[in-house]
Structure 1
Amino acid sequence: MRAARSGTKDGLERTRMAVLRKVTFLQRRDSPGDSEEEDTGFLEVTVSDLRHPPPELGPAPQGLSPQQVLRRHILGSIVQSERSYVDSLKRILQDYRKPLLEMEPKVLSARKCQVVFFRLKEILQCHSMFQIALASRVAEWDSNEKIGDLFVASFSKSMVLDVYSDYVNNFTTAMSLIKKACLTKPAFLDFLKKRQMASADRVTLYGLMVKPIQRFPQFILLLQDMLKNTPRGHADRLALQLALTELETLAEKLNEQKRVADQLAEMQQLSKSISDRSSLNKVLGSGQRQLLLCETLTETVYGDRGQLLKSKERKVFLLSDLLVCANVNFRGQLEISNLVPLGPKYVLKWSSALPQVQVVEVGQDSGDKDGAATAATAATAGHRRHDKVYLGPPRLFQELQDLQKDLAVVEQITLLVSTLHGTYQNLNMAVAQDWCLALQRMMKVKEEEIHSANKCRLRLLLPGKPDKSGRPISVMVVFITPSPLSKISWVNRLHLAKIGLRDENQPGWLCPDEDRKSRAPFWCPILCCHIPAFSSKALDLQVRSAPTSCLLGVIWVLHPLSLCIHDFWEQNHKSHSRGAGKSRN
C-alpha cells in the first residue's frame, strides 16, 4: 500500500511537471483558438524525404495481362494524386501559415492563424505516414499486387476521423475569417495575391484548403476503378471492398458534418442580414428553431395572359416553425471574390408561420374548406374549368384553354355538317371528325407539358394583408425548383414540419435549466399523440384495467395514420373503464 501510494504520488508529480513544461501529448482541446500556442494532442513526426522518398512506380515488367496493366495505371494515379495532395498541404503550411506567423508587423494574429489553419499539420502527418507505407507497397507491387489492406489500416483509425472532422467543422469559420481579413486589412489581401502570383499553378489559398474536403471522394473513385479491374478470387479483392466501405462511411460522416456546419453558417448569415428586424431576429437567435432545409429557388410572376413578368432567384429557408424568403445580394470586390468565395448577403423579403403556409398541387379541387385554392386561382389568372384548378404555367394553360374553345366550336361545326343534304369537297363528317381528333391530340400534348412543368413548380399559398373590409386575402407565390426531386423534398419537409407543430406532437416533458426555469428540449421528436402514463382516475381502476392504461401511457406513435389507432384505444379504454365502474358499483 505504501509503495502504491508513493508510486501514485510520484506519477502525479511527474504529470504535473509535464503539464508545466507543456508537453503536447498531455494537452488536448476540441476547438481552435483556445490559446496562443497551437496544441493539437498529437506527436509531431518529421518525415525526411531523403530517408523516406515519395512513392514512385517503376517500369512495368514483361508479360503482364491487360487487366494487370490497367491496375498498374490506377495505382500510378493513386500515387500521383497522393503526392500532389501532400505537396498542397505543405504549400499551405510553408507558403501561408509560416510567413503569416513570422511577419512583422503581423497582419493576422497567432490566434487567428490557428483558427484558419486548424488541424492541417495533423492531416499532413496522417498522409505522410500513409505515403511511407504506400512507397513500400509500390516497391513490391509486381510481386503481390495488394493495396486494399493499406487503406483499411491507414484510414480506419479514429484519429483520422477526428482531425478531418475538426477541419471540416472549422472550414466555414476559417473562410469567414479570411474573407473578413481581406475586406478589412489591405496588407493581408496583398499577401494572398502575391502568393498566388508566385505559384506556378496560380491556385489560391481557398483552392488549396478545399482539397482536404475533396480527398476522400477522390480516393473512393480510384478504389472503385481498382475494384472493377480486380478479378474474383484475387487476394486484394476483399481488402478493397473493406477499404471502400471504410472510406465511404468516413466520407458520409464528413459530408453530414459539413452540411450541418453550412446550415449553421446560413442561419448566422441570415440573422446578421436581418438584424434591423428585431422580432424575426429574436426568433432566429433563439435555440428552439432549427434549419430544416434551405435552397436557392427561382420565383416567377406571370401576367393575366400567361406572359412572364419577372423572374428572380430567392433564398428560401425552412425552419422548424417558420418559412423565410430572402433576396440574394452578392456584394464585394471582384479581386476578393477571386481569392476567396464571398458569401451572399440576404435581404428579407417575407416570412410566414408554417401553419399558415399551404402547398397547392395540380388538380386540387376549387371547393376547398377554406377557399384557399379558389382565392389563389383568382389572384393569379382565374384559370378554372369544370370546378378544377389547373396549376401549370399560365402560358401553357392559356394555350390549353384556347384549344378547348376551338374544340367546342369544331364540335358544333360537326353537328352542322351532319345536317347537310349535299356532298361537298373537304366538308363532310370524316373531315370534321379528323379535326376533332387532331384537337384532342393537341390538348393531350399540352396537358402533358403542363404536368411536366409542374414537376419543378412549387406553389405556396401565404396569408396576405387583409382587404378594406377586413377579410383575409391569400397570396400565391410560385417557385421553380432545380429538379423534380427538389420539389418533392420541399413538399415533404413542409408537411412533416407542420405535423411536428401540432399540439399532440409537442413534447410532454420539460427540461429544467440551470436557473431553475423550465424550457422545451432542443430536439423535439415528431410524434402523433402522447398520453400520461398515470393519472388520478387511473389509480381508482381495478387491477385488470391497469395493463391497458400502462399500454396507452407508453405508446408513442410515429405515423399520422396512428391517430385512428389512438382513437380506437381511447374508446376501448373508456368503455372498459365504464364497465369496471359498473362492476365496482
Structure 2
Amino acid sequence: MKAAKSGTKDGLEKTKIAVMRKVTFLHRKEVPGDSEEEDTGFLEVTVSDMKHPPPELGPMPEGLSPQQVVRRHILGSIVQSERSYVDSLKRILQDYRNPLMEMEPKVLSARKCQVVFFRLKEILQCHSMFQIALASRVAEWDSAEKIGDLFVASFSKSMVLDVYSDYVNNFTTAMSLIKKACLTKPAFLDFLKKRQMASADRVTLYGLMVKPIQRFPQFILLLQDMLKNTPKGHADRLSLQLALTELETLAEKLNEQKRLADQVAEIQQLSKSISDRSSLNKLLSSGQQQLLLCETLTETVYGDRGQLIKSKERKVFLLNDMLVCANINFKYVGQLEISSLVPLGPKYVLKWSTALPQVQVVEVGQESGAYDKDNIVIHNAGAKKHAPSGQASHNKVYLGPPRLFQELQDLQKDLAVVEQITLLISTLHGTYQNLNMTVAQDWCLALQRMMKVKEEEIHSANKCRLRLLLPGKPDKSGRPISVMVVFITPNPLSKISWVNRLHLAKIGLREENQPGWLCPDEDKKSKAPFWCPILSCHMPAFSSKALDLQPGHAACPLLEAQP
C-alpha cells in the first residue's frame, strides 16, 4: 500500500478506498458468454485522457551519470511500450468489439462476442490505472528515480492474475470461434479485412489479441535491463528485484495455463480427425483422457544397411493410457485468405494408436531384455522390404543410427584381426621393415581411437533418438510382430522427458496405483474409482445406510500407522 500511495494522485482516491475496504474492481467470472448482457461484476472507472494524460518523459536534465542516462532511456521504453499496449487494447474494443455488438443485422451474436473479447475490458481497466500511477512516477523521476515498487503494487494483486488467467484460458476458444466464423460467415470475414486495411499498421485482430499474452515477458525484459543498470545501494534496487520476482511468477503461471489450454485444443483437433464411430474418438470425447505430453517429433526410417530412407514430422500424443501418432497437414485449400487473418493451425490424420502398457522404450544396452527374441519378429516401421523370417537379422535391432553401429562392429572385427596379426608378428625370427611389433601396436591404437570416436558419435545421436517397440499384427504363422518406430526429438531434454513420462504413465496404470471406491451405479455399472495416493493397506468399508455394495467392490485405503 505504501508503494501504491506514493505512486498515485487524486485520480486514484477511489481505488485506495476500495482496496482498504477489501473490495476488488474485478469480479471473476469463470465461464464467458453466460448471459447476453455486459459483465457488471466489476466497478468500471472511467479514465479521462484530459484529466489523466498518458505519461510522458520530459527533457533530460544536465549532469546525469551514464547509468542514470541509461535508466532514463529504459524508463522511456517502459512508457512507450505501455502506451502502445493500452492503445492496442482500446483498438480491439473500439474497432472490433463495439461495432460487432452494434451491427445490424449481426454477423456475430452478442454471446459469441463476449466469448471472443472475454476479459479485455478488465485488462484495459488494470492497465489504465497502472498508466495513471506511471504518469505520476515519470513526473517525479529526476528527483526520486523509483519504479520497482509501482510494479509490485500494481501487478501483485490477485485480481490481475484472475483476469489474465481467464483471458489466457479462453484465448484458444476465442481463436477457434473467429476461425469458424470466418469460414461460415463471409460478412464477418469481410469485416475483419476492412478493419485491418483501415488501420495504419495493418495489424490483424489476432495480432492485437495476442499482445496480452506477450505483455508480461516484455515487462520482465525491460525490468531486467533496469536492474542491470541500477547500482547496489540504490533505493530502487530491492523494489526492482521484488517486481521481477512477482512478474516472473505471474508469467510462469500464465504460461502453464496457456500450455494446458493448448493441449486441450490439440486433443479436440485430434478427435476431429478421427471417425465419429471410432472407439478412439469416443474415448477422446468422453473427457476421461488426460493429455500428459504432445510434441512434434521427426520419424525416421532406415534401410537394412543403415541408410536413411525417409523422415517426416509427426505429432505424437501421450495420453494417460494411450500413445497416439498423427500425420500433420498444413495444406489449406481455399483458406489462404483466412490464414492471413487468424492462424488456422495444423490438421491431423491419425496414423496409429497403441495402448500404453504395450509400448516399450528400447535403449542402448537394454535390447536383450526388451523382447523375446525367439518368439517375436521385429520389423522397422515404414520399411517396405524385410528379410525372410529365417534370417537372423530379425533378431538384430540397431539402437541409434544403424550405419554407425555397423561401422563400429566392422572396426571391432578389424581390431580382432589386427591383434591376431600382432601375435603372429611376435613369432617372427627375422627383422623386416614395416613388419614389426611397433607397427602392429600402432595399428591397434589407431583402431581403438577410431572406435572411441564412433562410440561418441553413437552416444551423441542417441541423446535425441527415441526408439519405441509397438505391437503389430501376427504373421501367417501366428508369431507376434513388433514394430520398431524411431523418432528424433528436438533436443536431449525432450527425449528424457518422453522416456520419463512414458515410464511414469505406465506405472500409474497399474492396479495397485489406482485405489479408490468402486460401487455400482443405479444401472449396476461400476463407476471409475476416485483418484487417491498410493497407500499401504485396504480395509473393509461399512455404512449405516442401505448402500448396495457388491463383494470386492468397496475398499477404503488407509495409511497404516507405523510404531
Q: Which amino acid aligns with 1:554?
A: L
- Could you tell me how far apart the structure 1 residues matched to 2:183 and 2:313 are? 26
Indicate the SS of the match to 2:368.
coil
Residue 140 (1) aligns with residue 140 (2): yes
Q: Which has the higher helix share?
A: 1
Q: How do residues 198-213 of structure 1 correspond to structure 2 at under 5 angstroms?
A: 198-213=198-213
Residue 425 (1) aligns with residue 433 (2): yes
- Could you tell me how far apart the structure 1 residues matched to 2:455 and 2:396 are? 14
Query: What's the counterpart of residue 486 of structure 1?
Result: 494
Root-mean-square deviation (CA, aligned residues, Å) is 3.0
Q: What displacement does 1:39 show? A: 1.6
- Could you tell me how far apart the structure 1 residues matched to 2:26 and 2:443 are? 88
Residue 436 (1) aligns with residue 441 (2): no
Indicate the SS of the match to 1:293.
strand
Asked whether the 8 Å contact 1:28–1:39 carries over to 2, the reply is no
Query: What's the counterpart of residue 392 of structure 1?
Result: 400
Q: Which amino acid aligns with 1:532?
A: H
Residues 28 and 502 from structure 1, CA distance in 2 versus in 1: closer, same or farther, beyond 3 angstroms? closer
- Could you tell me how far apart the structure 2 residues matched to 1:433 and 1:132 are? 81
Q: Which amino acid aligns with 2:43?
A: L
Query: What's the counterpart of residue 131 of structure 2?
Result: 131
Q: Which amino acid aligns with 1:452?
A: S
Indicate the SS of the match to 1:316.
strand
Residues 500 and 430 from structure 1, CA distance in 2 versus in 1: closer, same or farther, beyond 3 angstroms? same
Percent identity, aligned pairs only, is: 86
Query: What's the counterpart of residue 4 of structure 1?
Result: none
Indicate the SS of the match to 1:33.
coil
Greater CA drift, 299-308 or 49-58: 49-58
1:542-568 deviations in Å (ceiling 9; x for gaps): xxxxxxxxxx94149xxxxxxxxxxxx
- Could you tell me how far apart the structure 1 residues matched to 2:374 and 2:507 are? 19
Residues 228 and 525 from structure 1, CA distance in 2 versus in 1: closer, same or farther, beyond 3 angstroms? farther
**Candidates 532, 536, 547, aligned match of 2:538:** 532
Query: What's the counterpart of residue 116 of structure 2?
Result: 116
Asked whether the 8 Å contact 2:375–2:479 carries over to 1, the reply is no
Residue 519 (1) aligns with residue 527 (2): yes
Query: What's the counterpart of residue 361 of structure 2?
Result: 359
Q: Which has the higher contact order (CA 8 A, sep 6+)?
A: 2
- Could you tell me how far apart the structure 2 residues matched to 1:378 and 1:422 are? 54
Q: What displacement does 1:263 show? A: 1.2
- Could you tell me how far apart the structure 1 residues matched to 2:468 and 2:533 are? 23
- Could you tell me how far apart the structure 2 residues matched to 1:26 and 1:314 are? 43
Matched positions, count: 517
Query: What's the counterpart of residue 339 of structure 1?
Result: 341
- Could you tell me how far apart the structure 2 residues matched to 1:403 and 1:476 are? 26
Q: What displacement does 1:245 show? A: 2.1
Q: How do residues 322-333 of structure 1 correspond to structure 2 at under 5 angstroms?
A: 322-332=322-332, 333=335
Indicate the SS of the match to 2:130.
helix
Q: What displacement does 1:297 show? A: 0.7
Asked whether the 8 Å contact 1:306–1:393 carries over to 2, the reply is yes
Q: What displacement does 1:352 show? A: 0.9
Q: Which amino acid aligns with 1:436?
A: C
Query: What's the counterpart of residue 559 of structure 2?
Result: 554
Q: How do residues 48-447 of structure 1 correspond to structure 2 at under 5 angstroms?
A: 48-332=48-332, 333-367=335-369, 370-371=372-373, 375-376=377-378, 391-447=399-455
Asked whether the 8 Å contact 2:376–2:481 carries over to 1, the reply is no
Residues 229 and 59 from structure 1, CA distance in 2 versus in 1: closer, same or farther, beyond 3 angstroms? same
Q: What displacement does 1:287 show? A: 3.1
**Candidates 503, 507, 518, aligned match of 1:499:** 507
Gaps of 5+ in 1: 1-24, 537-551, 557-568, 573-585
Asked whether the 8 Å contact 1:321–1:353 carries over to 2, the reply is yes
Q: What displacement does 1:35 show? A: 2.0
Asked whether the 8 Å contact 1:372–1:461 carries over to 2, the reply is no
1:209-242 deviations in Å (ceiling 9; x for gaps): 1000111111112112222222232222222222
Indicate the SS of the match to 1:305.
coil
Indicate the SS of the match to 1:478.
strand
Asked whether the 8 Å contact 1:372–1:474 carries over to 2, the reply is no
Residues 479 and 277 from structure 1, CA distance in 2 versus in 1: closer, same or farther, beyond 3 angstroms? farther
Greater CA drift, 81-90 or 67-76: 67-76
Residues 255 and 27 from structure 1, CA distance in 2 versus in 1: closer, same or farther, beyond 3 angstroms? closer
Asked whether the 8 Å contact 1:500–1:526 carries over to 2, the reply is no
1:169-211 deviations in Å (ceiling 9; x for gaps): 1100000011111222222222222222232222211111100
- Could you tell me how far apart the structure 2 residues matched to 1:374 and 1:451 are? 27
Residues 200 and 373 from structure 1, CA distance in 2 versus in 1: closer, same or farther, beyond 3 angstroms? farther
- Could you tell me how far apart the structure 2 residues matched to 1:500 and 1:147 are? 49
Residues 219 and 367 from structure 1, CA distance in 2 versus in 1: closer, same or farther, beyond 3 angstroms? closer
Asked whether the 8 Å contact 1:508–1:530 carries over to 2, the reply is no
Indicate the SS of the match to 1:235.
coil
Query: What's the counterpart of residue 42 of structure 1?
Result: 42
Residues 211 and 516 from structure 1, CA distance in 2 versus in 1: closer, same or farther, beyond 3 angstroms? farther
Q: How do residues 566-585 of structure 1 correspond to structure 2 at under 5 angstroms?
A: none
- Could you tell me how far apart the structure 2 residues matched to 1:151 and 1:295 are? 35
- Could you tell me how far apart the structure 1 residues matched to 2:26 and 2:498 are? 48
Residues 312 and 506 from structure 1, CA distance in 2 versus in 1: closer, same or farther, beyond 3 angstroms? same
- Could you tell me how far apart the structure 2 residues matched to 1:534 and 1:449 are? 58
Asked whether the 8 Å contact 1:499–1:526 carries over to 2, the reply is no
Greater CA drift, 236-245 or 164-173: 236-245
Asked whether the 8 Å contact 2:26–2:159 carries over to 1, the reply is no
Residue 458 (1) aligns with residue 462 (2): no
Q: Which amino acid aligns with 2:260?
A: V
- Could you tell me how far apart the structure 2 residues matched to 1:372 and 1:390 are? 17
1:386-411 deviations in Å (ceiling 9; x for gaps): x9965120121122222223323333
Indicate the SS of the match to 1:339.
coil
Residues 517 and 392 from structure 1, CA distance in 2 versus in 1: closer, same or farther, beyond 3 angstroms? closer
Q: Which amino acid aligns with 2:460?
A: S
Asked whether the 8 Å contact 1:299–1:311 carries over to 2, the reply is yes
Indicate the SS of the match to 1:466.
coil
Give the TM-score normalised by the residue count of structure 1.
0.82
Asked whether the 8 Å contact 1:55–1:132 carries over to 2, the reply is yes
Indicate the SS of the match to 1:366.
helix
Q: Which amino acid aligns with 1:46?
A: T
Asked whether the 8 Å contact 1:182–1:336 carries over to 2, the reply is yes
Residues 369 and 281 from structure 1, CA distance in 2 versus in 1: closer, same or farther, beyond 3 angstroms? closer
